[in-house]
């Protein structure tokens, strides 16, 4: 098996800095495929905390995860 380097580190210069737009309150919801893959590789179990629940993308999957005994969630209230 061979590995491929995905990112090549570049020296930081002011010319290489990009301006990226931000979502309101930095809201970036995790796609369900990512959470599903994470659960395949990271053995989460017991009481699981979701400190940035947003609209519940991760919490919804974790609530059906058979190893979740209890779950707590938290986030700021917003109307996105």
Beta bridge partners of 50: 73
Structure tokens at 36: 């599903």
Predicted local confidence at residue 77, as pLDDT: 65
Contact indicator for 24, 80 with CB cutoff of 8 Å: yes
Could you identify the residue written with the tokens 């893959």?
A: 37
pLDDT for 3-54, tens place per residue?
555 556 566 665 555 566 787 777 888 898 998 998 999 988 999 999 888 8
Predicted local confidence at residue 67, as pLDDT: 93
Count CA within 13 A, CB hemisphere, residue 3.
3
| This model's pTM is above 0.75 | no
Beta bridge partners of 49: 72
């Amino acid at each position: 098996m061979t590995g491929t380097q995905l990112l090549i580190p570049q020296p930081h210069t002011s010319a290489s800095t990009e301006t990226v737009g931000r979502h309101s309150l930095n809201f970036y919801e995790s796609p369900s495929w990512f959470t599903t893959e994470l659960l395949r590789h990271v053995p989460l179990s017991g009481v699981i905390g979701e400190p940035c629940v947003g609209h519940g993308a991760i919490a919804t999957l974790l609530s059906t995860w058979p190893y979740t005994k209890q779950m707590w969630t938290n986030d700021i209230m917003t109307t996105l």
